[in-house]
Structure 1
Amino acid sequence: MSDPMAVLAMTGATTVVAAMATSVWEGTRDRVVDLFRRRDEDRSAVVRAQLDGDAELVLGEGDDTDGVRDDLVRPWARRLAALLRDHPEAAEELRALVEDATAPRDGDTWSQHVIARAGGAAFGAQGPGSSVHVHHHQPASGDAPA
């Protein structure tokens, strides 16, 4: 996926799906609907319904939302890629949406738990301006590969 528009579509989809069931969801949803208005005013109502239905799926999963979110990213990436193909001028608006949805809010704290096992490497980064910390697991003698 080296095409910049395809990368942006995947980043946008990942951001939109990650925003479901968070405090930024309503604003993110409204901005996605606005993006799709470029294609057709009637289409925006369908997009809103799809977003609301997908958000309900995420909310219905409780603490175990990763599987549902993983399932939702690819269809949203395809929808956003088609939108960007037809309306490349929407790219800047999608970039702004991604930046705004991932920016920390006052009082927000982010945490991330990254594990490397069996000689693997783990990479972690959060939000704009973050740094990447690489952790290499050095198995102790007698540790079996996972």
Structure 2
Amino acid sequence: MDPVLVAAGTAIVGAMATDVWQQARAAVVGLWRRAGSAEAEAVQDELARVRVQVLAARADEDDDAERALAGAWRLRLRDLVHREPASADDLRRVLEEELLPALGAPERERARAVLMNATASGHGRVYQSAGDQHVNES
């Protein structure tokens, strides 16, 4: 699955437990509206229902439930991008400008951990790591 979809699904569910949830919800619903989807109102209602589930999962320290809810949003986002490919750029913008800033540092890092991009040209090399990395070249 596209790393942006994974990060966005994780960020949506993480944002549900924040004080700025209303702004994050508006950003997610706006994504569907700008894509011209008739599902925008249904998405808004579903976000409200899922938020109750996320808050309950947090209260119960049920990480599995929270991961499952994030997975469901990843699938929903994948379907949107599949139907409206132009929404992929908008999704990345919403993730970077609206969702990630709404999260606390640990959740932001969990969502960002999957967003690694690199480009090399010519004989250049790219090394990426989500943790420690030691490169010894001779």
User: Shorter-chain TM-score category?
Assistant: 0.5 to 0.7
Give me the TM-score of the superposition, normalised by structure 2: 0.67
- Give aligned-pair identity as a percent: 28
Q: Is 2:40 aligned against 1:40?
A: no
1:29-85 deviation digits (Å, cap 9, x = unpaired): 1111111222433x1111111111010111123161522211111211111111111
TM-score with structure 1 setting the length: 0.64
Structure with the bigger percentage of strand: 1
Q: Which residue of 1 aligns with 2:4?
A: 8
Q: Distance in 2 between matches of 1:39 and 1:89?
A: 11
User: Corresponding residue for 2:66?
Assistant: 69
Find the structure with the greater CA-based Rg: 1
CA distance change for structure 1 residues 104 and 26 in 2, over 3 Å: closer, same or farther? closer
Query: Structure 2: where are the runs of 5+ without partners?
Result: 114-128, 133-138
Partner of 2:54: 58
How many Å separate the matches in 2 of 1:74 and 1:20? 14
Paired residues for 1:1-146 under 5 Å: 1=1, 6-37=2-33, 38-41=35-38, 43-61=39-57, 62=59, 64-100=61-97, 101-103=99-101, 110=105, 125=109, 133-134=131-132
SS in 1 for 2:86: helix
Residues 9 and 73 of structure 2 are in contact (CA less than 8 Å); yes or no, is this contact kept in structure 1? yes
Look up the match of 1:117. Answer: none
Instruction: Render the CA deviation track for 1:91-113: whole Å, top value 9, x for unaligned.
Output: 122112211222378xx7x358x
Provide structure 1 residue ranges, at least 5 long, that are not aligned to the other structure. 113-124, 135-146
Higher relative contact order (Cα pairs below 8 Å, separated by 6+ residues): 2
Secondary structure of the 1:51 match is helix
Q: Is the 8 A contact 2:24 2:102 kept in 1?
A: no
Could you say what the CA RMSD is over the residues aligned between the two structures, in angstroms?
2.9
**2: distance between equivalents of 1:77 and 1:56?**
18
